[in-house]
Amino acid sequence: MNSSKKAKSALISVFNKDGLQPIVEKLNNLGIVIYSTGGTEKFIKDLGINVIPVEDLTSYPSILGGRVKTLHPKVFGGILARRENENDITQLNEFEIPEIDVVIVDLYPFEKTVSSGASDEDIIEKIDIGGISLIRAAAKNFKDVICVSSMNQYDAFLQIMTDNNGNTTIEQRKNFAAKAFAVSSHYDTAIFNYLNNEELAFRKSFDTVSTLRYGENPHQKGYFFGDLDALFEKLHGKELSYNNLLDVDAAVNLITEFKNDPPTFAILKHNNACGLAQRKTLKQAYIDALAGDPTSAFGGVLISNKEIDAETASEIHNLFCEVVIAPSYHKEALEILKGKKNRIILIQKNIELPQTQYRTALNGVLFQEKDNKTDNSAVINTSTLVAPSDRELEDLFFASKICKHTKSNTIVLVKNKQLCASGTGQTSRVDALNQSITKAKHFNFDLNGAVMASDAFFPFPDCVEIAHNEGIKAVIQPGGSIKDQLSIDYCNSHKMSMIFTGTRHFKH
């Protein structure tokens, strides 16, 4: 069997005509017969190029409001016929079916229609039937047919036609077939996820991929599947790495807790906040966030809930950091931050983040709803005789937000809406508390009057006792231990306040 095939005819039926003209002109110059339908047919005719309407081939008009145009044996027979099979060729001749060697088809914009907020009726009409069938047929018969299933493939296809005078190799056709099935599977996944309300199934597909410099370590390959451009506008700096993206993800989720608050600045390292403060000005919020752990801030990811001004940018510029994220930048601030050529500067766009999370585990995938609960005054229960003051209550909720986005086991210490320190990823709650106290003292924080947040309950009163000995006056925790009363009794006997939220915020 000859693996190289000379294209003699092509079927073109596309929704989006952008970039199609050079291909049509090239096929015409190569003497390739073109079949087409509807708007694509008109587009080709307007270029002054001969085109055969599919209706002339099938002897049937487009019917049912355009739902049925190409679904006919004379179309699919010409695509699916095996050129080396004598019976197939005999039947083509018997029924006067021309061979179709090239299929150029795209699909109705289903995902774009869904995201536009269109009606259910309009969305259903954007479920492509003829196009998806043509793509699958042409891709199945890649031994004889080349299938161009997306405008993203136009340049590569045009180059092949130009370089090889209309010939394609089996390797090229197989490669395009794989791309075609990627297009069709992604499309079907989007439709399933839109329609599905009851079936418990994991279906995810991304048609955009970025090759990263490497994975978590230099000896690992790394890729990002998704559309970063939908979430960020990159203004400056090197390409984001695998580890950058993990930190950026953590930063974006954390700052969402403070989206509508006064100026708030966070610094993250290895997915955890090492500094966070809220102040009247963004400059002071940054300075106080940095004071939380200036050592860990080196090489970190910085994020703000407000536009970064020139004064704040001047402070940031003194720190080596990998990424800066904000909703916007003052012109002068941007010029200052661009002073480091590799510093990545991102504008975070105002779009809704996904409401589900998943990760690989063992030989499958763990899937869960996002933790969207935020502790507030409506859900708390004061468990002690002494209630927290208004100032302490503000700090407790502030600490709880940070705690929710810090690796378990964790303890977070806050004073005056400033992160003093946190204990992260420890195997015991006592270790987490001792780590946070040690760090706070190392950076000269006075914990007298500070508050403490825990991501899970205290099984023993040891943590509240350690906290009390450091001058910590108020505690927020979920409660739920069979020995809660031991911690409550200790707080009562030492005039500490403790509130229960009823919600655990583990983050593993």
Q: What is the pLDDT of residue 451?
A: 97
Q: What is the pLDDT of residue 386?
A: 95
Name the pLDDT band for 130 (thresholds 50, 70, 90). Answer: confident
193-220 per-position pLDDT tens digit: 888 887 788 888 888 889 998 999 999 9
| Residue 79 reports pLDDT greater than 70 | yes
> Whole-number mean pLDDT of the chain?
93
Cβ atoms of 140 and 80 within 8 Å: the answer is: yes
- The arithmetic mean of pLDDT across residues 325-342, rounded, is 96
Place of tokens 């946070």: 436
Q: Is 13 exposed, middle or buried (0-12, 13-18, 19+ CB in 10 A)?
A: buried
Task: Give the C-alpha separation, 397 to 389, whole Å.
Answer: 12
267-293 per-position pLDDT tens digit: 999 999 999 999 999 999 999 999 999
Active-site residues: which are they?
140, 270
Q: What H or E segment, with its residue span, contains residue 451?
A: strand 451-454
DSSP letter at 381 equals E
Name the pLDDT band for 2 (thresholds 50, 70, 90). Answer: low
In the three-class reduction of DSSP (H, G, I as helix; E, B as strand; rest coil), residue 305 is classed as coil
**Among the listed residues 8, 87, 12, the one whose alpha carbon sits nearest the alpha carbon of residue 43:** 12
Of 182 and 63, the one with more pLDDT = 182
Cβ atoms of 455 and 463 within 8 Å: the answer is: no
Count how many residues are written for the chain: 508
How far is C-alpha 150 from the chain's CA centre?
Answer: 22
The backbone torsions φ and ψ at residue 43, rounded to the nearest 5 degrees and listed phi first, read: -60, -45
Report residue 382 as tokens: 């004061």
Q: Which residues of 413-441 are buried (b: 16+ CB within 10 A; e: fewer)?
A: bbbbbbbbbbbbbbeebbebbbbbbebbe
pTM over 0.75: yes
Task: Give the C-alpha separation, 455 to 249, whole Å.
Answer: 20
